[in-house]
Amino acid sequence: MTIRVLIKRHVREGFVGRASEMLHEFRNQARKQPGYISGETWINHYDPRSITIVSAWQQLEDWIRWQSSDERAANEAKIEGLLEVPTKYEIYDVGSLPEAISPQMPAHQSDEVS
């Protein structure tokens, strides 16, 4: 099942440029990984120090393999000193409920915009 990973970082004052360069390098490394589909960088309009990376992976195992790699650990160690708070991760399944969720559990799916 395709997944999206949101990687949320809040960069210290004065380090956004350096962090952006590093994130660009990190994405180039991720592109070479098995199962990587695509990535985007979202920069908060009102707080440019708040940066979210959205990456798409063919399956959870592909992401876990990359997340657990020595190469990625080295990347995280490099950027850690530029952050105000630790990096936060959110993983989302795309398109349908994971098999682990019981069919009896109601799922709210809507295309409506409130």
Give the pLDDT of the chain (114 residues) as one tens digit per residue.
899 999 999 999 999 999 999 999 999 999 999 999 999 999 999 999 999 999 999 999 999 999 999 999 999 999 999 999 999 999 999 987 766 664 554 444 444 444
On whether residue 112 sits in a domain, the answer given is no
On whether residue 106 sits in a domain, the answer given is no
On whether residue 43 sits in a domain, the answer given is yes
On whether residue 100 sits in a domain, the answer given is no
On whether residue 51 sits in a domain, the answer given is yes
Q: How many domains does the chain have?
A: 1
On whether residue 108 sits in a domain, the answer given is no
Q: Whole-model pTM above 0.85?
A: no
SS3 of the chain: the string is CCEEEEEEEEECCCCHHHHHHHHHHHHHHHHCCCCEEEEEEEECCCCCCEEEEEEEECCHHHHHHHHCCHHHHHHHHHHHCCECCCCEEEEEECCCCCCCCCCCCCCCCCCCCC
On whether residue 27 sits in a domain, the answer given is yes
On whether residue 85 sits in a domain, the answer given is yes
Q: 18 is in which domain, residue-wise? A: 3-93
CATH number at residue 70: 3.30.70.100
